[in-house]
Structure 1
Amino acid sequence: MSLVIKIRNIIRDFPLGQEIVHVLKGIDLDIEKGDYVALMGPSGSGKSTLMNLLGCLDTPTAGSYELNGVDVSNLSDDELAEIRNKEIGFVFQTFNLLPRTTALENVALPMVYAGASKAERHARAEEVLKDVGLGDRMDHRPNQLSGGQRQRVAVGRALVNKPSIILADEPTGNLDSKTSVEIMKLFDDIHAAGNTVILVTHEEDIATHAHRVIRLRDGVVESDVRNEKIVSSE
């Protein structure tokens, strides 16, 4: 398997008044293409900071981060934005959809920044919306959709540019238990199609969907365990 993510000795410090808060304290991490990872940890463990670094929303104080063989640790904001658009599909707890645009337009949006033509954008967005089970909701705005449907739109938007990684931050946090099961089935399908999926969650039942669970505590990796129950059943 080829490595999608290679992190070495990642440190992230934040100034707080006269003090420096050491949030990440020398993390090493490899994630292979096609991996399915749950990132867990209590509040203050550093998992949100690590997620921001993995998503190229932030840069480390020290250490290296290679994404598909490219060191992104010291890229400019514009370069990071380009990497985010091409390589990373984000799914957020709060969906982050544009309220006045249709499901189709929301899903097509990353392709605008990628420079795709309108015809290309619409064709790909239609394809993705059908894949996530919303082929009959393309012209609906977010306020005309249920929470689960909105999250499916968000998942479609994450997939539209065929990114290297799907990075989901508490993707079921705003959903009821029945809808959460449906969304996690969607993530399982996305992974089965060959995508690399990283879930950030505090819910143990959500983490059981992943094939690997990485737990952080106090800015370091506390454990990194393969989910044998799932792996052995394949």
Structure 2
Amino acid sequence: MSHPVIQIHDLTKTYIMGQTKVHALRGIELLINTNEYVALMGPSGSGKSTLMNLLGCLDTPTAGRYALDGKDVSKMDDTELARIRNEKIGFVFQTFNLLPRQTTLENVALPLVYAGISRKEREARAHEVLTSVGLGDRTGHRPNELSGGQRQRVAIARALVNNPKIILADEPTGNLDTKTSIEIMEIFEKIQAEGNTVIVVTHEPDIAEHAHRIVRLRDGYVESDERNKEIRLASDPDHRYKQGLSL
């Protein structure tokens, strides 16, 4: 049975720019359950990047409450936030953020070094997740020997290696062509189907359509929060009949 993995109440974030206060978030309310697949959308200046940083425990709010997997992380210090990030969140970035001199296996295993896992177990777990994203035969390759799509698969494997509660992906297809983007989104769908909570931050409507729920931000507020129309129709046994009536 699903339960809230993210609970946000009246969350605000204000930046001080000289004599000016910039209100990036203005009282956000958001609840995301385990095993949800959510897309965060919004134009430049909407607050989605700020919200992503808060969700990923990369920053703390000015006010309000953020509970992650039942723990209030709103007032945690940098050391506590780093521990939470390593235990609970897997990150996937637009630019992959792979270490160029390390092999695919070493890149994926890196989070396990900080977790204090033995080398033998690190390598075994890294190989397992690389195999799950279709790169079990690329463990000895370095990033410059891989295509963009393969590098993003490595980044996804690295995000999965710690068995996190949440996969947080920031514009994960921004540097990829259309065909490769679809393949990457299919991987996220598989990850969600296997029990993970997936949150994708994107400005691309066709990418957001892969999610089951779309949260739109504007001017620091949640403008809308709704189930994906295609997903909603597919779950309705009468959706074809209703579609026929609308033609």
Q: Same fold (TM over 0.5)?
A: yes
Q: Which residue of 2 aligns with 1:220?
A: 221
Deviation at 1:233, TM superposition (A): 2.6
> What RMSD in Å do the two structures reach over aligned CA positions?
0.7
**Corresponding position: 1:37 with 2:45:** no
Deviation at 1:146, TM superposition (A): 0.2
Q: Which residue of 1 aligns with 2:66?
A: 65
Q: Which residue of 1 aligns with 2:131?
A: 130
Aligned residues: 234
Deviation at 1:54, TM superposition (A): 0.1
Distance 2:47 2:140 in 1: 39
**Corresponding position: 1:28 with 2:29:** yes
**Corresponding position: 1:164 with 2:165:** yes
Distance 1:19 1:44 in 2: 16
Distance 2:152 2:30 in 1: 28
Q: How far does the alpha carbon of each residue in 1:10-54 deviate from its partner, in whole angstroms, 9 at most, with x for none?
A: 000000111111110000100000000000000000000000000
The DSSP-based 3-state class of the residue aligned with 1:94 is: coil
Distance 2:3 2:173 in 1: 29
Q: How far does the alpha carbon of each residue in 1:90-146 deviate from its partner, in whole angstroms, 9 at most, with x for none?
A: 000000000000000000000001110001100100000000000110100000000
What aligned pairs does 1:1-234 form with structure 2 within 5 A after superposition? 1-233=2-234
Distance 1:121 1:230 in 2: 37
Q: How far does the alpha carbon of each residue in 1:133-188 deviate from its partner, in whole angstroms, 9 at most, with x for none?
A: 00110100000000000000000000000000000000000001111111111111
Distance 2:92 2:206 in 1: 18
The DSSP-based 3-state class of the residue aligned with 1:116 is: coil
The DSSP-based 3-state class of the residue aligned with 2:176 is: coil
Distance 2:77 2:207 in 1: 35
The residue identity in structure 2 corresponding to 1:123 is A
Distance 2:101 2:91 in 1: 20
Distance 1:73 1:149 in 2: 35
Distance 1:180 1:132 in 2: 14
Deviation at 1:230, TM superposition (A): 1.6
Distance 1:58 1:129 in 2: 30
Deviation at 1:232, TM superposition (A): 4.1
Distance 1:118 1:18 in 2: 51
Distance 1:57 1:198 in 2: 15
User: Which structure 2 residue ranges, 5 or more long, are not aligned?
Assistant: 236-247
**TM-score, length of structure 2 as denominator length:** 0.94
User: Which stretches of structure 1, 4 residues or longer, exceed 4 Å deviation after superposition?
Assistant: none
Distance 2:133 2:22 in 1: 41
The DSSP-based 3-state class of the residue aligned with 2:28 is: strand
The DSSP-based 3-state class of the residue aligned with 2:234 is: coil
Distance 1:91 1:185 in 2: 15
The residue identity in structure 2 corresponding to 1:6 is Q
The residue identity in structure 2 corresponding to 1:124 is R
Deviation at 1:226, TM superposition (A): 0.3
The residue identity in structure 2 corresponding to 1:11 is T
The DSSP-based 3-state class of the residue aligned with 2:46 is: coil
